[in-house]
Structure 1
Amino acid sequence: MDDAADLGEGATMRRRVLMLGAVSASAVVSIRPALAQTAGSVIACEIPVPDQARAGSYIAADGTTVAAGTPGAFAPPGHAFKGQDVKQALAGGTLPGTDAEASRAYVNYIRRLQRGQGGFTCFASLQLPRG
């Protein structure tokens, strides 16, 4: 009788393992598209330079915001930068529509972004490793 009980428990255990495997596989299938969509939104997200709270400010070479017309500082670009453009600039490229010095200042500004500032979430998502 004990052998029959052991066989029944073994079959039950195998069924549970198979069910867990099926659940796990469906979770992977549903998560992958979500990750792909997230990666796409990171590329399309925008980072304003400067953000709305500092609109009209110029950007100093070190990335700080300064009063408009400050010598050596750069006027705002007039448009937000796409996540993909920022990602390329962080890797050593230049932001579109800028020269090397202005691009460096804008990238320094972007690197200084903190929680609560416009563009921070986009910048933070660019820092996440992609799998």
Structure 2
Amino acid sequence: MRNEDQQPEADRPVTEEVEEGQALQSRRGLLRIATLGTAAIVTVKPGIANAAVSGITCSIPVPQSSQAGKWIKKDGTVVNPNTAQSYDPPETPLKGEDVKNSLAYGTRYSGYNQNATNAFNNYIKKLTMGKQGYTCYSSIQSRI
């Protein structure tokens, strides 16, 4: 006895040929999607590598340039110079690598004691979108 799969091509019903055609089209569609997905992954990888480097080379001004001349209080707020429990900010922006090490491992910024470093870190932790240094800080956060 012969089953349907063993029938010669001429004896197969037309509906079976239509089903095979649809299955072939859906397989081709899946291949197209897989190909596009592979291209997207290849395209994204250089961007990820570039982001990894930017976390090391970026910098964070403390405080931002619109608040130049202000000092940083130990809780991270920006205050007038010589306010109690506040620290003279760094003359140059802090390097991303230094900020990363300080936040992750508790290292001090060169030329500053631990209290000043903590005040600067508290300022950095309060950065919000739109402020200078926020993009650098967010890229550092993704690596800690």
When normalised by structure 2's length, the TM-score is: 0.79
Bigger Rg, structure 1 or 2? 2
Give aligned-pair identity as a percent. Answer: 36
C-alpha distance in 1 between matches for 2:138 and 2:125: 9
One-letter code of the match for 1:20? I
Answering whether residue 139 of structure 2 is matched by residue 125 of structure 1, we say: yes
One-letter code of the match for 1:24? G
- Aligned partner of 1:104 in structure 2 is 118
Indicate how the Cα distance of structure 1 residues 100 and 114 shifts in structure 2: closer, same or farther if over 3 A, else same.
same
* Contact 1:59–1:74 (CA under 8 A) maintained in structure 2: yes
Answering whether residue 40 of structure 2 is matched by residue 33 of structure 1, we say: no
SS in 2 for 1:114: coil
- Aligned partner of 2:11 in structure 1 is none
**CA offset digits 1:9-42 (Å, max 9, x no partner):** 2111111111111111111111111111122212
Indicate how the Cα distance of structure 1 residues 116 and 30 shifts in structure 2: closer, same or farther if over 3 A, else same.
closer
Answering whether residue 100 of structure 2 is matched by residue 87 of structure 1, we say: yes
Segments of 5+ residues of structure 2 without an aligned counterpart are 1-13
Over aligned residues, Cα RMSD in angstroms? 1.9
One-letter code of the match for 2:66? A
Answering whether residue 49 of structure 2 is matched by residue 42 of structure 1, we say: no
Indicate how the Cα distance of structure 1 residues 129 and 79 shifts in structure 2: closer, same or farther if over 3 A, else same.
closer
Paired residue total: 130
